A and B are shown apart, each in its own frame.
Chain A
Amino acid sequence: MSAITMVRQFGEVLLAIAIAPLFAGWIAQCRAWLQSRTAPPLIQPYRMLRKLFSKDVALAADASPLFRVTPYILFGTMVLAAAIIPSIATDLPFARVADAIALIGLFATARVFQSLAAMDIGTAFGTMGARRDMMIGFLAEPALLMVLFNAFLLSGSTALPSVVEASTAHPFFVDPSLIFAAVAFVMILLAENARIPIDNPTTHLELTMIHEAMALEYSARHLALVEWAADLKLFNYACIGFALFLPRGIATHGKDGTAALGIAVLALLIKLILAGAALALIEALSAKLRIFRAPEYLAMAFLLAVLGLLVHLLLGT
């Protein structure tokens, strides 16, 4: 029994590692279509990773060990988060290691390491990127916590497996507060994953960069890991969103036979395809904000989440 759950746990993690770049590729493809460009092939991210892994690392002369170990830590935290988030099944051994609040903490660990590494070389753009990324981080965290507060009020738990099981128990019940929370969550997802309107993942202009500025000094296998970790982060955020707001299809406790797991994988893929298209649409419709408009944007996300909370408390359910 425990061997089987361990195998499932590994399967979930490997699936996450494997399809995270594909998800990023799918969003890029949808964006290209919406902008009437010829889309790159879906497997473009994998080609990129292969190319990067085969290159020689060009490392700045006075880079410290912290700089070299950070890509591995980034990748490690994101893989660990993928093991914790119930993307396919709730009854997995790692699912209880951290609740949603601890997951935010885990993402914050990754962010702090990446910012420290960006400051390590001491170039102007690296430190600027670090400062901006930390700023987005402290603005997004209160909003994200309020979203989780909403989920807690509905399900009485911040552990994602319990949230999923509580909401699959009443599949046709949608609390109005969840709608506010979901909108807030999507806004936070865009900000945390360095996407339009906060950051532009395809930018080549250093002055407007956030995430890319921090990765400027990385090359070859280090860059590959940093990029892969970024893809995994987006995938993880999407899966947290599914667990909170669209848990249909996730195999719950007692109903996780092979068939249920197959359905769960299929459901995950469908949700990813739809979510990717929706994200691409949002990004195509919005423009990048000036950096000092970011507080307004994230304050709006925060207020939406608080509104959800108030709706819940006032309706008194």
Chain B
Amino acid sequence: MSWIAHCSEMNNLTSIVALHGLHLLLCLAVLWIVLGLAGMLQTRSTRFVAHFLFPLGAIVCLGVAILAGIFLATGHSPQIAILPLGLPNLPFHARLDTLSGFFLLLIGLAGAGISIFAAGYFRSGEGTAPGLLCLEYHVFLASMALVILADDAYFFMVAWETMALSSYFLVTAQHRIAEIRRAGFLYLLMAHVGALCLLLSFGALQGGRWQFTFDAMRSSSITPFWASAAFLLALLGFGAKAGLVPLHVWLPEAHPAAPSPVSAMMSGLMLSTAVYGMLRISFDILHIRYWWWGAVLLGVGLFSALFGAIFAAVQTDMKRLLAYSSIENIGIIFTGIGLAVLFDAAHLPLFAALALSAALIHTLNHSIFKSLLFLATGSVLHATNQRSLGKLGGLIRSMPWVATLALVGTLAIAGLPPLNGFVSEWLLLQSFLYTPQLPHAFLNMLIPLGAAVLALTAALAAYVMVKFYGVIFLGQHREPSLVHAQDADWLERIGLAWLALGCIVIGVVPQLVLRAAGTVTGTLLGQRVNLSSSFLWLAPIATKQASYSGLLLLAGLVVVVVITFVIVRVLAHGRLRRTVPWDCGYPWQTSRMQDTAEGFGQPIRHMFGSFFAMEVELPSPTDTAPRYRIHIEDRIWRALYLPIARAVQGLASWVGLLQGGRLPIYLLYSFLTLIALLGFVL
């Protein structure tokens, strides 16, 4: 009986979502802003802000996820609303369709975990007051949701800029540290360069009709040249936000500077909005796709992925390492989008749907496991005050909760079955297998090598993550003070556990998210991958070609491990004694003899040396106080950014010549300008 009641309740909810889903979502976004403003009532009260407002924000996140989930599950037609906001005659348009539904689901799911964690994380006395942080944090969340709901270029850009500004203030929460101010400035600069490109891209998209709603852009028939220009500008704009190489330089600076929940939001959620924008423009607004767009996306994506993985392997700061790992994952996602464009341009919609599903699911996965790991570094940072990997170690003994939950994230991001990271990488590799069917003689020989690059990246990611986890949590304490490290508090544990649960559930029952991604590809490409009837199996093309079952894999593993354990205990014995580790005949083992982060990166530096600009300082054998120092830098700084900076400075000094500093000269300028303008008019 109660089951029937439950069913009818569900039906009610679905019909409400069918009618008012968009309005409800907009209300929830407003609710976030209200929560943020409420924080301003008592800016200094950590208890009110952290233990009351942030959990409420998490509940709103859950609400967003549930609404978006129901919308995707029922597969309703798009909903449109015109908001009474904005300029006269230029109101904001909002729209909810499957693509925005998918990304709202992502923001809701990951945001809920981050908000709960943030409730336990933010403390007073660290830079910006908690109440102000609460405002910035919730405006950031709301603006991300609005970016995804926006249906005209004006609203989109307003939300996009709000997102950039609110996150800038969050990054510079500890603004008294000069390094953090510098990182924040770099971030703001790159965000604005990107926004400028986006503005130009929208200008190209309107096709001379001066209509800036996405609906008008969809129906405008722009020439191939302007379509390509719009695509490339969008790639630059969204690439700057997503951190594609060479526009990635702000990422490894800004992510470590921000407080950990903010790093998690930026890396897990904000980068996803850039992926969303790229998909919105290239698959929804532009009605045509050329194969070379796909080749460009594929090349940039693969290079970013490899670049990120290689640089992550040599980092010695745990948050910088994760930032480079984000570049790697964004590269993987753009690789998937590139493949989808290639397949779509060649009229192979099924394979395009496969590649696009892989990209979408990887975006979702990345938002979950990257948030989890950033939050875990936050707990470690609070417990130890250390970000440098060289001063951590052995925390699995003093922080078992964080260590266990971070292990789930580590295995997931390393792309290991049966967790979620593996599912999307598997789908992407599957779609690579069909590239020989592309009708380009050269490309279909080159692209399989792309699969090898992807495999190399995935395996390097595993290397990076073994380093990350091993150096922080395993081994001996590298500093004596680490013995007293405190485990995370219960709110932080809930946040971490929520995200870890996400990693496991998506990994074990990937059909859930594949179904959601299927509704998106159904709208964008008119095709979805094959969903087997049973929830056990993942067979996107056909069972005969390839199948995978995360649940059976996990179940089989658990059963075999348990049986083995029982048999060993029954047939043999369980005797055990604790002793000192084996010392290889050399009795003084100290914690300094373990591999350091630098040591773990050494094979990578050796093999991929040409990627880095390295300075190594080795001690000579006669040094009384030997010192080893290594400094690794991006080559791109010197190759690209410094020349641009110099050019800008040179140009500025030329322009500076105009600045005479005397009033008559300026009046002369005004006079000459007026004369020139008159020449135009007459």
* Residues on A facing B (Cβ under 8 Å): 53-54, 56-62, 64, 66, 69, 72-73, 75-77, 79-80, 83, 94, 96-99, 101-102, 105-106, 108-109, 111-112, 115-116, 119-125, 127-128, 130-132, 134-135, 137-146, 149, 152-153, 156-159, 162, 206, 216-217, 221, 225, 292, 295, 302, 306, 309-310, 313
Q: A108 to chain B: which residues have CB within 8 Å?
A: 414-416, 459, 462
- Asked if A125 and B564 sit within 8 Å, CB to CB, the answer is no
Q: B573 to chain A: which residues have CB within 8 Å?
A: 54
- Asked if A159 and B460 sit within 8 Å, CB to CB, the answer is no
Could you jot down 7 A-B contacts, CB within 8 Å?
A: A97-B548, A98-B547, A101-B430, A108-B459, A145-B451, A149-B448, A157-B544
- Asked if A119 and B475 sit within 8 Å, CB to CB, the answer is yes
- Asked if A96 and B547 sit within 8 Å, CB to CB, the answer is yes
- Say yes or no: is B411 at the interface (Cβ < 8 Å to chain A): yes
- Say yes or no: is B445 at the interface (Cβ < 8 Å to chain A): yes
A279 CB, min distance to chain B CBs, angstroms: 24
What separation, in Å, do the CA atoms of A60 and B394 have in the docked complex?
14
Q: B578 to chain A: which residues have CB within 8 Å?
A: 59-61
Q: B571 to chain A: which residues have CB within 8 Å?
A: 53
- Asked if A102 and B417 sit within 8 Å, CB to CB, the answer is yes
The residue on A at minimum CB distance from B445 is A313
- Which of B465-510 touch A at CB < 8 Å? 465-467, 469-471, 474-476
- Contacts A108-B416, A309-B448 given; does A127 touch B579 at CB 8 Å: no
- Which of B546-598 touch A at CB < 8 Å? 546-549, 552-553, 556-557, 560-561, 564-565, 568, 571-573, 575-584, 589, 591, 593-595
- Asked if B572 and A141 sit within 8 Å, CB to CB, the answer is no
The residue on A at minimum CB distance from B557 is A76
Q: Which of B141-149, B599-607, B671-679 contacts A (4 or more CB under 8 A)?
A: B599-607
- Asked if B582 and A138 sit within 8 Å, CB to CB, the answer is no
- Which of B90-138 touch A at CB < 8 Å? none
A146 CB, min distance to chain B CBs, angstroms: 6
Q: Is the interface of A mostly helix, strand, loop or mixed?
A: helix
- Asked if B595 and A131 sit within 8 Å, CB to CB, the answer is yes
Q: B594 to chain A: which residues have CB within 8 Å?
A: 119, 122-124, 127
The residue on B at minimum CB distance from A54 is B572
What separation, in Å, do the CA atoms of A295 and B397 have in the docked complex?
36
B554 CB, min distance to chain A CBs, angstroms: 10
- Say yes or no: is B312 at the interface (Cβ < 8 Å to chain A): no
Q: A122 to chain B: which residues have CB within 8 Å?
A: 393-394, 474-476, 581, 591, 594
- Contacts A131-B603, A310-B445 given; does A59 touch B556 at CB 8 Å: no
- Asked if A138 and B433 sit within 8 Å, CB to CB, the answer is no
Q: Is the interface of B mostly helix, strand, loop or mixed?
A: helix
Tell me which of B466, B469, B475, B564 contacts A121 (CB under 8 A): B475
A180 CB, min distance to chain B CBs, angstroms: 14
Q: Which of the listed residues B415, B417, B552, B584 has the most CB atoms from chain A within 10 Å of its own CB?
A: B417
- Asked if A102 and B458 sit within 8 Å, CB to CB, the answer is no
Q: B411 to chain A: which residues have CB within 8 Å?
A: 109, 112
Q: A56 to chain B: which residues have CB within 8 Å?
A: 575-577
Q: Which of the listed residues A75, A122, A221, A310 has the most CB atoms from chain B within 10 Å of its own CB?
A: A122
- Contacts A76-B560, A142-B456, A146-B448 given; does A106 touch B572 at CB 8 Å: no
- Say yes or no: is B48 at the interface (Cβ < 8 Å to chain A): no
- Asked if B576 and A57 sit within 8 Å, CB to CB, the answer is yes
- Say yes or no: is B453 at the interface (Cβ < 8 Å to chain A): yes
- Asked if A66 and B553 sit within 8 Å, CB to CB, the answer is no
- Which of B505-529 touch A at CB < 8 Å? none
What separation, in Å, do the CA atoms of A97 and B546 have in the docked complex?
9
- Asked if A116 and B557 sit within 8 Å, CB to CB, the answer is no
- Contacts A94-B556, A98-B417 given; does A313 touch B572 at CB 8 Å: no
Tell me which of A58, A125, A130, A225 contacts B579 (CB under 8 A): A58
- Say yes or no: is B212 at the interface (Cβ < 8 Å to chain A): no
Q: Ordered nearest first, which 7 A-B pairs have the shortest CB separation?
A: A122-B475, A138-B459, A127-B595, A119-B470, A122-B476, A142-B452, A141-B459
What separation, in Å, do the CA atoms of A216 and B582 have in the docked complex?
8
Q: B591 to chain A: which residues have CB within 8 Å?
A: 122
What separation, in Å, do the CA atoms of A134 and B607 have in the docked complex?
14
Given contacts A62-B476, A106-B553, 19 further A-B contacts (CB under 8 A): A56-B577, A57-B576, A64-B397, A72-B565, A76-B560, A105-B415, A112-B466, A119-B466, A121-B581, A122-B393, A122-B474, A122-B594, A123-B582, A124-B594, A156-B545, A157-B544, A158-B546, A206-B584, A309-B445
A264 CB, min distance to chain B CBs, angstroms: 21
A311 CB, min distance to chain B CBs, angstroms: 11
* Residues on B facing A (Cβ under 8 Å): 393-394, 396-397, 407, 411, 414-417, 422, 426, 429-430, 433, 436, 444-445, 448-449, 451-453, 455-456, 458-460, 462-463, 465-467, 469-471, 474-476, 537, 543-549, 552-553, 556-557, 560-561, 564-565, 568, 571-573, 575-584, 589, 591, 593-595, 599-600, 602-603, 606-607
Q: B469 to chain A: which residues have CB within 8 Å?
A: 116
Q: A61 to chain B: which residues have CB within 8 Å?
A: 578-581
- Asked if A225 and B456 sit within 8 Å, CB to CB, the answer is no
B421 CB, min distance to chain A CBs, angstroms: 10
Q: B576 to chain A: which residues have CB within 8 Å?
A: 56-57, 59
B609 CB, min distance to chain A CBs, angstroms: 12
- Asked if B556 and A83 sit within 8 Å, CB to CB, the answer is yes
Q: A216 to chain B: which residues have CB within 8 Å?
A: 582
- Asked if A158 and B474 sit within 8 Å, CB to CB, the answer is no
- Asked if A149 and B451 sit within 8 Å, CB to CB, the answer is yes
Tell me which of A75, A94, A119 contacts B564 (CB under 8 A): A75
Q: B560 to chain A: which residues have CB within 8 Å?
A: 75-76, 79-80
What separation, in Å, do the CA atoms of A239 and B131 have in the docked complex?
62
- Asked if A66 and B396 sit within 8 Å, CB to CB, the answer is yes
B32 CB, min distance to chain A CBs, angstroms: 38
- Asked if A217 and B581 sit within 8 Å, CB to CB, the answer is yes
Q: Which of the listed residues B474, B476, B557, B603 has the most CB atoms from chain A within 10 Å of its own CB?
A: B474
The residue on A at minimum CB distance from B565 is A72
Tell me which of B463, B475, B581, B583 contacts A127 (CB under 8 A): B475
Q: Which of the listed residues A83, A99, A137, A138 has the most CB atoms from chain B within 10 Å of its own CB?
A: A138
What separation, in Å, do the CA atoms of A216 and B585 have in the docked complex?
13
The residue on A at minimum CB distance from B595 is A127
Q: Which of the listed residues A76, A106, A125, A313 has the most CB atoms from chain B within 10 Å of its own CB?
A: A76
- Asked if A96 and B463 sit within 8 Å, CB to CB, the answer is no
What separation, in Å, do the CA atoms of A57 and B575 have in the docked complex?
6
Q: B546 to chain A: which residues have CB within 8 Å?
A: 99, 101, 157-159
- Asked if B462 and A134 sit within 8 Å, CB to CB, the answer is yes
A126 CB, min distance to chain B CBs, angstroms: 8
A185 CB, min distance to chain B CBs, angstroms: 15
Q: A158 to chain B: which residues have CB within 8 Å?
A: 430, 433, 545-546
What separation, in Å, do the CA atoms of A313 and B444 have in the docked complex?
9
Tell me which of A64, A72, A217 contacts B582 (CB under 8 A): A217
The residue on B at minimum CB distance from A95 is B547
B510 CB, min distance to chain A CBs, angstroms: 12
- Asked if A295 and B607 sit within 8 Å, CB to CB, the answer is yes
Tell me which of B394, B417, B564, B606 contacts A105 (CB under 8 A): B417
- Asked if A130 and B575 sit within 8 Å, CB to CB, the answer is no
